[in-house]
Structure 1
Amino acid sequence: MKKLLTVFLIVLAIFQNRKLLAQTGIGTTAPVNKFQVETATADPATSGSAANGNLRLSGLSVAHVLDFGLGNTSNFAWIQARNKTYGTNYNLALNPLGGNVGIGTSSPTAKLNLVGGGMRIYDGFTNSGTRPAINTSSIGNYEIRGVGSATGTVQADGADDGFLRLSAGGGTTTTAQSSIDISGFSNTADMNNNIVFRTAGTERMRIDLNGNVLGSNSNTLSGFGATISSISAAYTLAATDNAEVIKSDAASAITVTIPTGLPTGFNCMVLQYGAGQITFAAASGVTIINRNSYTKTLGQYAIATVLHLGSNIVVISGELGN
């Protein structure tokens, strides 16, 4: 009796083991995995309710489903959360309770860890498109936005506060990191509506909420020196000369004309570097103002400043005479 029971148990174990090793196929008689569903390929449908995909997860008395499929227009696989009659798409949450998501890695170390590739954002703009208006609660398909909340625990997409940092380096020491901080509204003055630039872990420059460009407290703001443009013949100033130095190498007298339409606040310096005297002339519609009505440089190495006050009224000053 004991021998018979032993043989029965051995046969049962073999049978169970064979069952565990068996493959299950739907749409195929030769499945290669534990469970395989094989059907016609198809891109995800946008309307209708006919079968579309290889596998569906659905629930009792609900309209939303999760479909899985293989595309037929190119070699891609797809997952789509949507209404079971199609036409309405729903959100797909990955690790909604926590944990990291990896692309190209099985050991992600951040909420989203991308390995072995870059990222593209297709925004739909043409090369003749105008700059889009700033969005409020919605977000554009060209946009990456940091959002916050009053409490810090509930995401508030429609709130004005938010913080975003773009950084590189600094894995072991902050002095090896460069970063850009972008801040929305904040009750903390240091964080309120500004952009902060750092290198070697130290702030080098910031743009405050009024648009002022500020250097750090301990470093000189460098790299903003005026461009020096050389001329040797008659010249008409242009908006692109704003904040620049115009250096005249002319050996004989030349005229620098001030045109209409320069931007308000336009300013530049004009240097008579050569022997040729410079005469400032107003184009039609422009008014030149000087405290002594002078319009000519005094001589070699004389410097004159041009400042547009708006409405085509221009002040010239410096080493001038007639």
Structure 2
Amino acid sequence: MKYFTKFLIVFLYTLSSIAQTPSGESMLGLNSVPTSELGNITNPIRGSILYNPTEKNLYAYDGKNWIPIGNGADDNQKIDSFSLNTTTGELSLSIENDAEADKTILLNTIEPWYGVDDNTGATLNTENIYSMGKVGIGTSTINGKLHIQSSVDAGLTSTEHALTLGNPSGFNLIFDNNEILARNNGAFSNLYIQNESSANTIFNNSGSGRVGIGGVPSQKLDVFGTGRISNSTYLAVNEDGTKNIVKIGNPIGGNNDGYYPISLFGGPLQTGWNSAYMGIDSPNGIFNLYPYSGQGNFTQFKVTFNPSGGNMYIANGNLGIKVSSPTAILDVNGDARIRNLTSSNSSTDMMVVADASGVLKKTERGIAPVKEVTTNYSLTAQDSGFIIYVNSSTNRTITIPSGLPIGFNVSVYQQGTGVVTFNGGSGTTVVNRLGRSKTAGQYAGVGIVQYTNNQFTLTGDLKM
């Protein structure tokens, strides 16, 4: 509006001067600019009027181009009439001897930006503004309300990229055609998304795209390199009640509900974790595996290797089965069974025997192990097949208890001068053809055999 007011004053003064008999001293003339120089006028105001001596015509600027407003027939054109619409800023002129229609010129300068408060053209730098149309920066083919286009790649020192948010000398965020870069005074900075919000951050919620960290992803989330999750109670994968689950972290749910720091669930996971899962924890530096089935019931623990082969070994330490503190490389508290043993008649094969503590040892085939006792002694199942020497200068007693396995046999020799007496324990019967039960003297030998349950036979160098 300010441009229109200035122009109107000048224009009306010009018309009043023309209407009177002009003199060279009182006449106010229009600028005379030939056609060749019209394009050299810098920052013309919309609605400006000049005289073009090349075309012998008046020209007005419509905001984009200089347009003729007369017929250019001669040098003596006159304005028959004019009308001005003060609301729209339109000036209508009727030119003498001009066969064309009246000329309409928009004298008012239309501001492209509007003030937020009054919806009128914004003319002050302090006004909050908006645009009625689209805005393009770096492009005349505007796509969207705001279209910024630049071919410059966003970088630490770039200045011609598409958009900068923030202070380039401090923290700022810059954009190019396909990149967002966080900077701090020419150096890389952290990029935060919803840093102070409790709302969710969702990537590609409905699409089939992927997220890659450190490379081009082939999975929904693909991390090229190491990863870490800090300050989290647990990590759950596919925790939706229908698929397999891996939980890593502290027990969840409280009240010792069975979830261990690492819980591997083999789905489908039912209400109350009624499916089998593997719990793993490590209290006091002890690594524990807990196989469960249903509501906390122990189930089988199975280790399967590649069917084509594979090894499992313990590099150091001992392995205990039902033994919390094993004292041998393999310590078994209970029975052991080996299936599908290969038969062999080789004279070089060894025999495996157990000592009194249950420790397995190997011995030559056909060679019985030897044990020496010096006090009264009660036979055990491990003594079967042994040669026992009783080495004492005083009389000793060998007790034969019940519960020894059928087929139990042992050889006992009196090595010292003390006589050895054989007594049956509670529930056992000990017999000899001559009713004898003592060794006959030093170096005498006696055989003990159980042929039926708790029935033992003595043979050898015996006396009453």
Q: TM-score, normalised by structure 2?
A: 0.32
Larger Rg: 2
